[in-house]
Structure 1
Amino acid sequence: MKNGKGVYGFFLVAIGILFSLQSLGLIGDFWSFSWPLILLFVSIGFHLGFFLSGARSQHAGLLVPGGILFVLSMLFMFEEMTGWNFSGNTWPIYLFAVAFGLFELWLFGGREVGLLIPIFILTGLGFVFLIQNLLTFNILSFWPLVLIIVGLFLIFGRSGNSSKDL
């Protein structure tokens, strides 16, 4: 089994057997609960690729799709188990998935501060939309208030170069 071909071979044989058993009617609808597992296994593959390569920061890019697929596989498993009844409310999890992948890149890839900006933006938007979906009133109707508060902070907030601002 050179270069891991045997592992992929066993995986393909197992998938083929499961689909054959389904087409013969020996097991139920395999695909409806298994496709999120495929995403989970691909996610694990990305993570294993990173950690088995010595967890060097040069390979931390593998964690972005790994983290995204991990969160999405968990979401899709939940959606499949509940018959997609909550998909109208759980869509902000897609934002969390990207934020999680980027967070893993930040955590294992050198901790560049600039990477935290999209992480916080995506996470914040995800929470705003998730809370909005859970509450009965529209929280986005208060966005002008946020603009006013930020504007007042910029006008009256403390600044290190107050003499140069004018």
Structure 2
Amino acid sequence: MRNRSKYVTGAILVIFGILIISGNLGFFDISWIFRLTWPMIVIGISFLFFLGYFTRRPYGAGLLVPAGILLTVGITLLLGETFSYEWVWPGFIAAPAVGLWLLYTFGDRAPGLLVPIGILLTTAGICLFATVFNAWDIVWPGFIMAPAIGLFLLYLAGNREPGLLIPVFILTSISVLLFSIFCLGRFAWTFKYIAGGALVFAGLATILKKPGDSNHNGY
């Protein structure tokens, strides 16, 4: 049994050595192995925190915060290294929200946790939408609404204190107003090209129109 494990270990070391030497000599690229390894290490560390929580349930809910953060960061890193960070970087903003959400769900469900959860998730969603559709100049007022969403979640999960609705209403109104203004600005910027194209088309149609068409239509 010991001899068999010796051969297996030796074979693994030889294979890794050949891969490293071949990569350095340029025979084939093995850098992707290392790029994907360290995100998996981060994900593996998050599983250790999850394991620590499950072995101490119902205590140790605080371990879910780093577990959720590291898991989300690890997945974001894995997607970024596999594809591109251009689209997945908002996951880093959402990572603390995931950890806090796990603490809220499996902990004592403290309503105050919903404020940062709402703010972070809203911010991450806005960043993702703006990145995908290149709409930063339109959606940035959503950052003003992010605290309103967090406070509204606190209102729903808490004692429903009416005073919380005042900042929610103010922030939402400002955000919607600015969003409407900048949407109209984008529409006006686009409309001038549409109007110009329509005028060019009308002018060409007038030039190309046969001279006898108007006289013929008059009879």
Q: TM-score, normalised by structure 1?
A: 0.67
Q: Which consecutive unaligned segments of at least 5 residues does structure 1 have?
A: 1-13, 155-166
Give the 3-state SS of the residue equivalent to 1:25 in structure 2.
helix
Equivalent residue for 1:91?
89
Equivalent residue for 1:71?
72
Give the 3-state SS of the residue equivalent to 1:125 in structure 2.
helix
Equivalent residue for 1:119?
117
Equivalent residue for 2:35?
32
Shift of 1:144: 10
* AA at the equivalent of 1:131: F
Which protein is richer in helix relative to its size? 2
Distance change >3 Å, CA 142–CA 65, structure 1 → 2: closer
Q: Which consecutive unaligned segments of at least 5 residues does structure 2 have?
A: 1-8, 21-29, 149-167, 174-219
* Correspondences of 1:17-166 after superposition (within 5 Å): 21-22=15-16, 24-26=17-19, 28-29=30-31, 30-53=33-56, 55-56=57-58, 58-82=59-83, 85=84, 87-137=85-135, 138-142=137-141, 150-151=169-170
Give the 3-state SS of the residue equivalent to 2:109 in structure 1.
coil
CA offsets 1:103-132 (integer angstroms, 9 cap, x no match): 001111110001111101101111111111
Higher relative contact order (CA 8 A, sep 6+): 1
Equivalent residue for 1:157?
none
Shift of 1:21: 4.9
Shift of 1:77: 1.2
Shift of 1:65: 0.6
Distance change >3 Å, CA 63–CA 25, structure 1 → 2: same
The structure whose Rg is larger is 2
Distance change >3 Å, CA 130–CA 49, structure 1 → 2: same
* AA at the equivalent of 1:111: R
How many angstroms apart in 2 are the aligned matches of 1:71 and 1:114?
Answer: 22
* AA at the equivalent of 1:129: C
How many angstroms apart in 2 are the aligned matches of 1:144 and 1:36?
Answer: 29
Percent identity over the alignment is 30
